[in-house]
Structure 1
Amino acid sequence: MVSVSAMASKVFVLFIASLAVCAAAGPPIDPQLLQSVFGAAAPGFAAPASAQAVPVRPATDNGTLVDPDYWDAPDNFSPAPADYDRFDWTLTKRVAASSDANFLLSPLGLKLALAILTEAATGVTQNELSSVLGFDLDRNLVRRKFSTIIESLQKKSPQYILNLGSRIYIGDDAQPRQRFAAIAQEFYKTELKTVNFNDPSVAAKEINTWVSDTTQGKIPTLVDEDDVAGMVVLVLNTLYFKGSWRHQFAPNATKTGQFYVSPKIQKNIPFMNVNDKFYYVESSKYDAKILRLPYLGNKYAMYIIVPNSLTGLPRVFNDLSELRLELNNLREYQVDVTLPKFKFEYTSQLDGVLRELGVRQAFEETASFPGIARGQLLHERLRISKVLQRSGIEVNELGSVAYSATEISLVNKFGVDTEANAEVVANRPFLFFIQDEATRQLLFTSRVADPTSADGAFKFI
C-alpha cells in the first residue's frame, strides 16, 4: 500500500477585467443616491486578514484532546441542488477537451467578474452574458444571489482562511454611472478606486501590490506597464483559501509510488495515505470512484473523481452536467485513500471559449457597457479584448494551496488504521473540484494528468 501524510489546502483566485474608454472623469458616488437606491449602507469590505490559519491540533480547554465545537463534530454532509453552476461545468468541460494535460480554473472568480460587467452592460451585450452565465432575467434576483454567495465566502473562522477581494480601478478619463458604482459596492462588495493609467509604472505597482497582498504573495506580479498603458478601467477579483483536512494524513507515511500518466507512461511520485470515514460512492454511471474530502470546519470540501480505467477520465468530462445528481449517492464509509502530492501553475486565455459559448457582442465594436462609459458614441464604446486567468495549486501533507487570476481587458472599439470498506487510489489522471458547501459554488475545478508537471497553458481564439 502506498502511504500518505497529512494534508491541508490553500487556494487563491484573482479575476481582472480591464476597460479603455474616452470619457471624462466623474464625481464620487453621492452617498444620498446610494441610500436612496439600496437603503442603509452595508458595512464596507474588510481587508483580508494576514494571520495564518490556526494549527490543526484540537483545543484542550476542556482538559482533553477533543474540542467539541468542531474537532469531533459530526460531518453531516447532505447534497443539495446547486444553481448558477451550469456555466462552471460548461467552461470546465470545454477547457478539458482542449488537451489531456493538467488544468486549473476558478469558475467562481471568472463568474463574479463577468457578473459585474453584466451590470454595466445593456441590450444584446447584457443578454448574451446573462444567457451564457445562466442568470435569471430579474437582475434583483441575480444581485441577491451573488450577495448571498459573497457573504458566505466572507465569513471568518479560525479553522480556515478565505479572503475575497474585489476592486474596480477607474482611470482619470473614465466616468462610471453612479447607479452602476452603487450596485457594484452594495451587492458585489466591489470597491471603486481611481488610478492614473497615464502613468503605467505607478498604476502597475499599485495594482500588483493589492493583488499580492490579497493572495498572500502567491501572485506578486499580475500586470506590467505595457498591460495597463492606455487602460481606462480594470476589474479585479481575488480569492485566497487555506484550509486543513478534517481527516489528517500522517506526515511520516508518505511513500513513492507510480502514477500512470498514460497506460504506457508511469512516473514515480510521492503519495500520501489516510484511512478514515469519508463520503464515497462507486459510480457505475461514470465508471469511477467519487470521494469527498472535507476541510476542517466542514464549510469547504474537495471532491475527487478517479476513473476505474487508466483512460476513463474523458467519460467523466463528457457528462459533467450530471455530476451533481451522482453526488446524491454519496454515503459514509471507512475508506483507504491514496493521493499524490502535486504542485502546478496554469494560465488560460478564455476569450475564444466565451465567444464559442455565446458571448459575442461583448467582443465587438457594437458592444454596450454604458454603466462604465457615459459616452455612447462609437468612438467612446468599450469592448472586451482579453479574458485571462492565472492559477496555481499545491497539495501536500499539510494541505493544498491554489490561486488564480482572471483578466478581462476591454478597449475602445478601435486517522486510525481500521479495515476499509472501500479504497481510492488516485494513481491515474483524475478530476477534482473545491466548493463552498453552504452555497455549492465551485471555487476551483481541475484535472491532474501529471503531478510532476509544473505549469501549463490554454489558449483558444
Structure 2
Amino acid sequence: MKQKFSNAGENFLQRRYGVRLGRRYVLAAASVVLMGVIGCSQVNSSTSAFAESGLPRSESPIPKSMSYPDIKLITANTKFGFKLFSEVLKNDSGKNIFVSPSSVAIALAMTYNGASGSTKQVMAKALEFKDLNLEQINSSNAVLKKLLENPDPKVQLTIANSLWANKEVSFNPDFLQRNRDFYTARVANLDFTDISSPAIINDWVSEKTRGKINKIVEKIEPSQVLFLINAIYFKGSWTNEFDKQQTAEYPFYLSSGQQKQHLMMSQSGDYKYYENQQFQAVSLPYGKDGKISFYIFLPKQNSSLESFYQNLNAENWENWMTQFSKQQGFIRLPRFKMDYDITLNNALTAIGMGEAFSNQANFSAMGKDLKISEVKHKTFVEVNEEGTEAAAATSVRIMPLSAVEPSLEPFRMIVERPFFCAIRDNQTGSILFMGSIVEPQS
C-alpha cells in the first residue's frame, strides 16, 4: 500500500532540503553487487532487458508519523563506519585511504534483508543493528534517503538502487519486495548468457553517477544470477570557494620526516573550529546552508596521525562534533586527488561477520544455499578550490555454498602533514566518506 508524507511534511522537506541541482563537483558511489544462485519465486520475465518484475512498484512504506530516521540507525551506522575504518587502517597502514561507510552500510543493510538464523545475528552485531528490528532498519533507511537527497540548492545528493536478475532464475518475493519498497530498488531481468549484459548494468551505474563510476561489473560468471546495485551521487561546491590566485606550492611533511612541495589552497574567514591538546579540526561547508561539510582533523606537531587514530571511535566523534564553535581563522589545505581500492572480507570478518563468508552462512531469506564470497570497495576523491569530487563502489558477491559561541583569537591551521578527513551530513549526522591522507597527490 502506498504511503506518503502529509502535505505539510512534503512542504517542510522542500523548504528545508531544496530540490535544485548544484553546479559543480560530483561525489558518486556505486555500491554493492550481489551475485548468486537463488531459488524461490521467479522475477517476471520480459523480452526487455530493463523489464520490471511483475510485482507492483510502490513508494517507501514510511509511517506517516515518521519524519526522521530512528537515531539508533544513525548511531549504528556511525559505530559500524569507525569499526570498519579501523580495520582498513590495519590492512593499509601508511597509505592514503578513502572509504564510504554510508555506501557500505546501505549495501549491507540491503543484503541483511536476505539473512536468516545465526548469519542474521552476526551481521546484526557487526552492523550494530542489535537494538533495531528489520522494520526499523528498513523504514529508517527509507526516511534517511529522503532527508539526505537534495539537501541544498548548491548541493545535490541522490541515492539509487537496482536489482538485476537472471531471467531464468527465481527469487524470494519478500526479499525483492522489501528492497523495492524501502530502498526504492528497481527490479529488472537480464539474459545473463548475453555478453552485452554487463554493459547494461554498467550503463545504469554510469547514468546514476553521472559518469563517475563507469564499470562495476567486469563479467558475469555462470554461477552469478543476481546483481544488487546501490549508487550514491553528490554534487556540491564550497560555501566559500578558495581563490585560485592564492594557491601556491608549499612543503608537505610526510610521516617519514621527508618533505615534498605540493599545491596548497589558502583562505581566511569564519569557520566552525575545534582544538584540543592532540589536534586542530575545522569544518568546511558545502552549499548555501552548510548542511554537508568536509571535516579535517590535523594532529599537533608533537603528536601523530597514528596517535589520533587510537582515539578515533564513535563515542569520541560524537563528543567532538559538539565542541565546534565559530571562530575566525586561516586555513591552508592541500589540493589532492587519489584512487583507492580494497577487498573488505578481512575487515568485515574481524568485526564479526565471518560466518557470512563461510559454508555456515544462512541467506535463506534471499534464496537457497548462499554465502558472500567477496566484498570489494573502490573509491576516487579530488579536493580543489571549487569543491569536492569523489566516487565509491562496493560490490558484495554472493556465491553458492561449497552546537552563544565564545569570542576567540583567530586560529591558523596549516594542513602540511598527514591528516584525517570526513564528509558528513550535519542534519542527520551520517558520515558519507572518511579518509586518511598521508601523502596528497595531484
TM-score, with length taken from structure 1: 0.80
- The answer on 1:312 being equivalent to 2:301 is no
Q: How far apart are the structure 1 equivalents of 2:400 and 2:263?
A: 50
Q: How far apart are the structure 2 equivalents of 1:32 and 1:293?
A: 43
- The answer on 1:21 being equivalent to 2:21 is no
Identify the match of residue 289 of structure 1 among 257, 280, 286: 280
Identify the match of residue 401 of structure 1 among 379, 383, 389: 389
Tell me, what secondary structure is at the counterpart of 2:254? strand
Q: How far apart are the structure 2 equivalents of 1:156 and 1:171?
A: 36
- The answer on 1:445 being equivalent to 2:434 is yes
Q: How far apart are the structure 1 equivalents of 2:415 and 2:104?
A: 28
Identify the match of residue 224 of structure 1 among 218, 232, 238: 218
In structure 2, relative to structure 1, the CA distance for the partners of 1:40 and 1:273 (3 Å cut) is closer
Q: How far apart are the structure 2 equivalents of 1:234 and 1:434?
A: 28
Identify the match of residue 335 of structure 2 among 327, 335, 341: 341
Counterpart in the other structure of 2:102: 108
Counterpart in the other structure of 1:166: 161
Tell me, what secondary structure is at the counterpart of 1:114? helix
Q: How far apart are the structure 2 equivalents of 1:33 and 1:262?
A: 53
Identify the match of residue 210 of structure 1 among 179, 197, 204: 204
- Counterparts of 1:38-117 in structure 2 under 5 Å? 82-84=74-76, 85-98=78-91, 99-117=93-111
1:8·1:245 contact (CA, 8 Å) conserved in 2? no
2:253·2:417 contact (CA, 8 Å) conserved in 1? yes
1:175·1:372 contact (CA, 8 Å) conserved in 2? no
Tell me, what secondary structure is at the counterpart of 1:231? coil
Structure 1 unaligned spans of 5+: 1-6, 42-79, 455-461
In structure 2, relative to structure 1, the CA distance for the partners of 1:172 and 1:160 (3 Å cut) is same
Tell me, what secondary structure is at the counterpart of 1:17? coil
Tell me, what secondary structure is at the counterpart of 2:113? helix
- What percentage of residue pairs aligned between the two structures are identical? 25
Identify the match of residue 323 of structure 1 among 317, 322, 330: 317
1:112 partner letter = I
1:19·1:383 contact (CA, 8 Å) conserved in 2? no
How many residue pairs were aligned? Answer: 394
Tell me, what secondary structure is at the counterpart of 2:32? strand
Counterpart in the other structure of 2:242: 249
Q: How far apart are the structure 2 equivalents of 1:220 and 1:189?
A: 22
1:194 partner letter = N
1:93·1:318 contact (CA, 8 Å) conserved in 2? no
- The answer on 1:138 being equivalent to 2:129 is no
In structure 2, relative to structure 1, the CA distance for the partners of 1:424 and 1:33 (3 Å cut) is closer
Counterpart in the other structure of 1:299: 291
In structure 2, relative to structure 1, the CA distance for the partners of 1:330 and 1:8 (3 Å cut) is farther
Tell me, what secondary structure is at the counterpart of 1:83? helix
2:151·2:291 contact (CA, 8 Å) conserved in 1? no
Query: Which structure exhibits the higher relative contact order, with contacts defined as CA atoms closer than 8 Å and separated by 6 or more residues?
Result: 1
2:335·2:440 contact (CA, 8 Å) conserved in 1? yes
In structure 2, relative to structure 1, the CA distance for the partners of 1:39 and 1:97 (3 Å cut) is closer
Tell me, what secondary structure is at the counterpart of 1:212? helix
- The answer on 1:12 being equivalent to 2:28 is yes
Structure 2 unaligned spans of 5+: 1-22, 45-52, 65-71, 403-407
Q: CA RMSD in A?
A: 2.6
| Greater alpha carbon shift after TM alignment, 167-176 vs 323-332 | 167-176
1:15·1:238 contact (CA, 8 Å) conserved in 2? yes
Counterpart in the other structure of 1:177: 172
Counterpart in the other structure of 2:15: none
Q: How far apart are the structure 1 equivalents of 2:87 and 2:63?
A: 42
Cα shift readout 1:225-274 (whole Å, capped 9, x = no counterpart): 2x544311111111121211112211211110011122521111100011
- The answer on 1:424 being equivalent to 2:418 is no
**How far 1:17 sits from its partner (Å)?**
2.6
Counterpart in the other structure of 1:269: 262
In structure 2, relative to structure 1, the CA distance for the partners of 1:210 and 1:310 (3 Å cut) is farther
1:244 partner letter = S
1:14·1:390 contact (CA, 8 Å) conserved in 2? no
2:356·2:362 contact (CA, 8 Å) conserved in 1? yes
TM-score, with length taken from structure 2: 0.83
1:203·1:228 contact (CA, 8 Å) conserved in 2? no
Tell me, what secondary structure is at the counterpart of 1:169? strand
1:278·1:335 contact (CA, 8 Å) conserved in 2? yes
Deviating 4+ runs (over 6 angstroms): 32-35
